[in-house]
């Protein structure tokens, strides 16, 4: 009796592919991107892949045994979830993270909702978003194939810099393990040709995303610019492997097109206006949340008549469409529009004030680190050197540090008394850290002052205390080193803040980048 077939009323849908076959086909389709990623990024990337897949399979196996469920781990869906998650991770990510991400994806986003076919969001993306929220700094640390830390191509592109589109397309530049757009396209088109994924979804995602970038990206429909955006930031992965998940996508072709265009629209908006290049995961999950609403209103006629939800007594099948929309949908839409307009209005009204305050804070920080200065002048050579960096990460030994601007400090008589350099590091524990570094006329460090610091109170925020900042003042060295043991006696050693070695190291690297820029550009160009 336990093996009786499920009995349900018509209509019934049938498909020639079994779940096992589909999952194996997806694994085969992901194999090219996996191989390219491992070849490019090395052994650590392979370990991330193996740990992620193994953790996903073992998590579902353990859940099935503990809850006395059928052995669903054998259908291959857990392995697909683990592999998709691994390909969305940095090749430098700490090894515990793929384990935690896979466990969250399987146990929380999938099994707790009833298993395959009952989850309302894509489990792999749920795991990735969980890691992004919980371990932002570790998840945003990338490396190119030669091991040099640098910004991702999309981040460079958004900052106005130039990128190598060919390397982006091949996946031989900074990014996640599955960053090869070519390999992902090969796998995705294979699934499409096998009629395993729906072309209405993947091509509408790519089409709408391209349209938004072309219209609002500032460079029109320039082919190399569009291709650079499509090749980076997980667009191809999302279009062919994430958005096309059977469980979390609409049932009808028209609904699939609407769903795909929604994801592409959100992807373009987030890419251009959100300030982060790593946002497509959130776009797909947002699209997943709209699937029930899409399936409610876009119904395939051959599946017979279905009464629409009533908004009132007169909202029958023959009533106008606006009367058949459920009242909660109208209310929520109105609230969202009002809130969006209000936030947009507040932003527009305060943007200039915020910018002015930021400039004032920056100017004040320069006076703090160059107290002898009466004013600060620009220098054509310094401006040209910074412009030549194209917003990219500075050097190869300072982590994710960028040089923002540099000024010459002058006294009331116009004599040069030093330089002020603004730098930003992306290696802070809780985000970017921006600081001004002041140097006197001889190149010794006057001091440092923070203009952007959002670290943990009582820990990372303590780098803004004089006990830490004062260690840099009056030191004439070419490079500082972080001393985690404490009690340093050498000029070039900086004692770490207890419990905040990540933030301390990021600040030391930022100061070292400013010193290197000064020695090579100011002194070297003198």
Mapped onto helix, strand or coil, the DSSP state of residue 418 is strand
> How far apart are the C-alpha atoms of 397 and 307, rounded to whole Å?
65
H helix intervals, 172-313: 181-193, 199-216, 223-231, 235-237, 253-273, 280-297
**106-120, 182-196, 337-351, 464-478 — which is least confidently predicted?**
337-351
First to last CA, the chain: 89
Distance separating alpha carbons of residues 346 and 454, to the nearest angstrom: 23
Q: What is the pLDDT of residue 273?
A: 81
**C-alpha dihedral (316, 322, 323, 327), degrees to nearest 10:** 120
Give the C-alpha distances (Å, rounded to integers) separating 434 from 110, 213, 400. Answer: 40, 29, 12
- Answer for the pair 437, 421: CB distance below 8 angstroms, yes or no: yes
Contact partners, residue 51, CB within 8 Å, separation at least 6: 86, 95, 98, 99, 102
Domain residue limits, the chain: 19-306, 370-525
- Mean pLDDT, the chain, rounded, equals 82
What mean pLDDT comes out for the span 219-224? 85
Q: Is the pLDDT of residue 149 over 50?
A: no
Give mean pLDDT, residues 262-284. Answer: 83
Residue 408: CB atoms within 10 A of its CB come to 18
Q: Is 287 helix (H, G, I), strand (E, B) or coil?
A: helix
The region of weakest confidence among 71-85, 126-140, 293-307, 328-342 is 328-342
Write the class of the CATH domain 19-306. mainly alpha
Measure Cα distances from 36 to 32, 80, 180, 422, 505 in Å.
Answer: 6, 17, 7, 38, 32
Exposed / middle / buried, residue 251 (Cβ in 10 Å: 0-12, 13-18, 19+): middle
* 399/303: higher pLDDT: 399
The pLDDT of residue 348: 62
Query: Would the pLDDT of 347 be above 70?
Result: no
pLDDT band at 311 (very low <50, low <70, confident <90, very high): very low
Among 72-86, 296-310, 349-363, 488-502, the range scoring the smallest mean pLDDT is 296-310
Quickly count: other Cβ atoms within 10 Å of residue 76's Cβ.
Answer: 19
- In whole angstroms, what is the distance from residue 38 CA to residue 45 CA? 6
Stretch 28-54: mean pLDDT: 93
The CA distance from 347 to 293, in Å, is 31
Q: Give φ, ψ of 445 to 5 degrees.
A: -75, 120
d(CA 492, CA 26): 53
For residues 40 and 315, the model is more confident at 40
pLDDT for position 6:
56
Q: Is 420 helix (H, G, I), strand (E, B) or coil?
A: strand
* Position 82 pLDDT exceeds 50: yes
Q: Residue 195: its pLDDT value, please?
A: 87
DSSP alpha helix (H) spans, 42-95:
43-66, 77-87
Write the CA distances from 437 to 63, 96, 176, 405, 472, integer angstroms: 54, 36, 32, 11, 10
Percentage of the chain surpassing pLDDT 90? 34
Question: Angle of helix 123-134 relative to helix 77-87, nearest 10 degrees?
Answer: 40
Per-residue confidence at 2, pLDDT binned at 50, 70, 90? low
Give pTM, 2 decimals.
0.62
Residue 402, classed as helix, strand or coil, is strand
What does the pLDDT look like over 94-142, one tens digit per residue? 899 999 999 999 999 888 888 877 888 899 999 998 888 888 777 776 6
| Residues 6+ positions from 167 with CB-CB distance below 8 Å | 153, 173
| Better-predicted residue by pLDDT, 408 or 299 | 408
pLDDT at position 71 is 80
Q: Is the pLDDT of residue 161 over 80?
A: no
- The better pLDDT of the pair 3, 221 is held by 221
Instruction: Give residue 139's pLDDT.
Output: 79
The predicted structure's pLDDT at residue 336 = 60
Work out the angle between the directed axes of helices 43-66 and 77-87 (0-180°, nearest 10).
150
Separation CA 244–CA 241 (nearest Å): 6
375: which strand partners? 410
HEC readout, 152-179? CHHHHHHCCCCCCHHHHHHCCCCCCCCC
Residue 484: count of CB within 10 angstroms of its CB: 10
Question: Could you tell me if 49 and 34 are in contact, meaning their C-beta atoms sit under 8 angstroms apart?
Answer: yes
- Find the DSSP H helices in 274-326: 280-297
Helix and strand totals (H; E) in the chain: 19, 7
Cβ count within 10 A of residue 80: 24
């Amino acid at each position: 009796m336990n093996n009786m077939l499920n009995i349900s009323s018509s209509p019934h849908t049938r498909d020639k592919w079994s779940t096992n076959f589909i999952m194996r086909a997806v694994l085969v389709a992901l194999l090219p991107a996996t191989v390219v990623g491992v070849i490019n990024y090395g052994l650590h990337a392979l370990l991330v892949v193996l740990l992620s897949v193994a953790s996903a399979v073992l998590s579902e196996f353990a859940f099935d045994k503990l809850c006395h469920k059928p052995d669903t781990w054998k259908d291959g869906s857990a392995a697909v979830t683990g592999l998709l998650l691994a390909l969305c991770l940095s090749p430098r990510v700490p090894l515990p993270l793929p384990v935690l991400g896979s466990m969250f994806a399987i146990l929380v986003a999938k099994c707790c909702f009833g298993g395959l076919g009952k989850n309302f969001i894509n489990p792999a993306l749920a795991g990735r978003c969980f890691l992004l929220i919980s371990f932002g700094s570790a998840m945003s640390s990338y490396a190119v194939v030669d091991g040099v830390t640098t910004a991702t191509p999309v981040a460079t592109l958004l900052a106005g810099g130039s990128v190598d589109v060919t390397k982006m397309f091949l996946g031989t530049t900074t990014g996640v393990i599955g960053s090869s757009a070519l390999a992902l396209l090969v796998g995705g088109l294979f699934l499409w040709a096998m009629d395993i994924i729906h072309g209405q979804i993947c091509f509408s995602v790519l089409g709408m995303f391209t349209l938004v970038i072309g219209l609002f990206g500032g460079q029109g429909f320039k082919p190399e610019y569009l291709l650079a955006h499509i090749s980076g930031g997980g667009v191809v992965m999302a279009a062919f492997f994430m958005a096309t998940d059977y469980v979390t996508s609409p049932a009808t072709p028209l609904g699939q097109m609407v769903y795909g265009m929604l994801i592409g629209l959100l992807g373009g908006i987030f890419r251009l206006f959100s300030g982060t290049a790593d946002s497509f995961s959130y776009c797909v999950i947002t699209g997943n949340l709209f699937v029930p609403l899409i399936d409610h209103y876009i119904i395939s006629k051959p599946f017979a008549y279905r009464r629409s939800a009533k908004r009132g007594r007169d909202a029958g099948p023959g009533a106008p469409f606006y009367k058949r929309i459920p009242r909660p949908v109208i209310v929520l839409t109105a609230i969202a529009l009002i809130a969006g307009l209000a936030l947009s209005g507040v932003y527009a009204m305060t943007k200039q004030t915020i910018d002015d305050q930021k400039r004032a804070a920056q100017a004040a920080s320069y006076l703090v680190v160059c107290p002898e200065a009466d004013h600060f002048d620009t220098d054509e050579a310094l401006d040209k050197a910074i412009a030549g960096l194209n917003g990219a990460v500075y050097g190869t030994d300072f982590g994710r540090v960028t040089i923002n601007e540099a000024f010459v400090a002058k006294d009331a008589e116009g004599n040069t008394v030093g330089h002020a350099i603004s730098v930003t590091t992306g290696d802070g524990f809780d985000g970017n850290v921006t600081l001004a570094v002041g140097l006197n006329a001889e190149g010794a460090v006057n001091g440092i002052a923070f203009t952007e610091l959002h670290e943990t109170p009582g820990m990372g925020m303590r780098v803004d205390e004089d006990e830490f900042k004062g260690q840099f003042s009056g030191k004439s060295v070419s490079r500082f080193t972080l001393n985690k043991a404490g009690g340093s006696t050498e000029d070039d050693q900086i004692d770490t803040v207890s419990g905040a070695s990540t933030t301390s190291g990021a600040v030391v690297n930022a100061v070292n980048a400013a010193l290197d820029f000064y020695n090579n550009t100011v002194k070297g160009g003198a």
